[in-house]
Amino acid sequence: MSKIQLEKFQTPNRRLMGAGPSNIYPEVSEALSRHEIGHLDPLFVKMMDEVKSMLRYMFQTKNEFAIAVSAPGSAGMEACFVNLVEPGDKVIVCVNGLFGGRMVENVERVGGTAVVIQDEWGTPVSIDKLEVALEENSDTKIVAFVHAETSTGVRSDAETIAKIAKEHDCLVIADTVTSLAGIPVMTDEWGLDGVYSGSQKCLSSVAGLSPLTFSDKAIEKITNRKSKIQSWFLDQTLVLDYWTGEGKRSYHHTAPINSVYALHESLRLVSNEGLENSWKRHKDAHIRLKKGLEDLNFKFVVEEEYRLPQMNSIYVPDNIDELAVRMELLNDFNLEIGAGLGKLSGKIWRIGLMGYNAREDSVDYCLDALKSVLNK
């Protein structure tokens, strides 16, 4: 087989204002290129401990178990279901967008029984429907929902969902991929048991890691399982020995060293800023964007009360070629905005104000670019 000779790959300086990944912080970019150390180096173990502490702060939890899964958010999702659901377990899944649908897939693939509550894409999870489903399915073990649906930009009422689930003695799995650091995620106060997120959204770190925390009740369920966890890679009883083993850390898999450097740095930046300030920054940027989009006569997909500041979904007017506009923004303005997914494909745009891009400068750049392209 003959050799392949390729040039170095060059990438332009894009503003990533779609559904994620967001642009990383400049400091995260620097951190990425730190000297590599081994994944069992005492210094790396120290770094992991710091990551754990900062993740506890991000998730607002005292949970002992707070780690980063060595793979993207969808692996974090799978880690929750594969560890917490035993074959035959009944799981109520609240579906109001693409990622809720993926949760159903996960329940079924681990041999659980999914009871699906459907809500319209763009609306929050219906509390009434959840209450009815819990009454009708008293043997439910787990309630799962997406806190911030990236596919539509809607926020569901995590606190109330968890409260009701707890009243029925259920564990609660929450997807906070897009919410963490952008809006409050109060793991302990709300009583969430399995919570996962992504590194590349409001944390503005590199894509590829999934922060994950389990409550003590979740850990109890995992350690008392009757059946073996079907995934070796995502078996958190094994990972636990690497991330939290007292004294000696036992080898599980080779951690993605440089990505952990990046996560450490982004967690550090958000910690130093303070969560309240981070939430406010996302909200302020959203208000500025909202004003500009309304001036341009765009309509939001989600009602004001449930809108995520970090994920703004707007309808594309009928007379506009949505793909052509996105490509023009990308090619002429180095600006990425997100397309619709699934049933909203071709119908909406998703403008992300996540992490580093939750600031005036990015909002104004985006609005100016949109105006230029649309006024042509």
Q: How far is the CB of 64 from a copy of itself (least distance, A)?
A: 15
The C-alpha atoms of residue 45 and residue 62 are separated, in whole angstroms, by 20
Q: Which is nearer to a copy of itself, 127 or 257 (CB)?
A: 257
Among 25, 60, 212, 367, binds a copy of itself (CB under 8 A): 60
Q: Under the criterion CB under 8 A, does residue 6 sit at the interface with a copy of itself?
A: yes
The C-alpha atoms of residue 72 and residue 74 are separated, in whole angstroms, by 6
Q: Which is nearer to a copy of itself, 137 or 334 (CB)?
A: 334
Nearest by Cα to 272 from 57, 8, 2, 84 = 57
Cα 99 to chain centroid, rounded: 10
Say if CB 44 and CB 251 are below 8 A apart.
Answer: no
**Residue 148: strand pairing partners:** 155
Side-chain-side CA neighbours of 80 within 13 Å: the count stands at 35
Residues 135-154: x where in contact with a copy of itself by CB under 8 A, - otherwise, as a string:
--------------------
Q: How far is the CB of 87 from a copy of itself (least distance, A)?
A: 11
CB under 8 Å to 243, separation ≥6 — which residues? 48, 52, 67, 249
Q: Which is nearer to a copy of itself, 134 or 337 (CB)?
A: 337
Q: How far is the CB of 372 from a copy of itself (least distance, A)?
A: 20
Among 123, 160, 244, 271, binds a copy of itself (CB under 8 A): 271
Stretch that binds a copy of itself, among 32-40, 117-125, 133-141, 301-309 (CB under 8 A): 32-40
Among 268, 280, 283, 347, binds a copy of itself (CB under 8 A): 268
Nearest by Cα to 266 from 22, 18, 27, 69 = 27
Say if CB 243 and CB 257 are below 8 A apart.
Answer: no
The C-alpha atoms of residue 321 and residue 327 are separated, in whole angstroms, by 10
Among 68, 206, 302, 358, binds a copy of itself (CB under 8 A): 206
Q: Under the criterion CB under 8 A, does residue 160 sit at the interface with a copy of itself?
A: no
Q: What residues from 73 to 132 belong to the interface with a copy of itself (CB under 8 A)?
A: 73-75, 77-78, 82, 102, 105-106, 108-110
Residue with tokens 């951690």: 255
Q: Under the criterion CB under 8 A, does residue 38 sit at the interface with a copy of itself?
A: yes
Among 125, 307, 336, 369, binds a copy of itself (CB under 8 A): 336
Q: How far is the CB of 200 from a copy of itself (least distance, A)?
A: 6
Q: Under the criterion CB under 8 A, does residue 354 sit at the interface with a copy of itself?
A: no
Q: Under the criterion CB under 8 A, does residue 8 sit at the interface with a copy of itself?
A: yes
Q: How far is the CB of 145 from a copy of itself (least distance, A)?
A: 17
Nearest by Cα to 142 from 185, 110, 118 = 110
Q: Which is nearer to a copy of itself, 31 or 130 (CB)?
A: 31
Stretch that binds a copy of itself, among 10-18, 130-138, 290-298, 362-370 (CB under 8 A): 10-18
Q: Crossing angle for the helix pair 73-84 and 236-243, nearest 10 degrees?
A: 120
Among 113, 118, 230, 244, binds a copy of itself (CB under 8 A): 230
Helix, strand, or coil (residue 341) = coil
The C-alpha atoms of residue 155 and residue 271 are separated, in whole angstroms, by 23
**How would you label 214-226 residue by residue, b for 16+ Cβ within 10 Å and e otherwise?**
bbebbbebbeeee
Q: How far is the CB of 84 from a copy of itself (least distance, A)?
A: 15
Say if CB 309 and CB 343 are below 8 A apart.
Answer: no
Among 147, 168, 221, 264, binds a copy of itself (CB under 8 A): 264
Q: Under the criterion CB under 8 A, does residue 365 sit at the interface with a copy of itself?
A: no
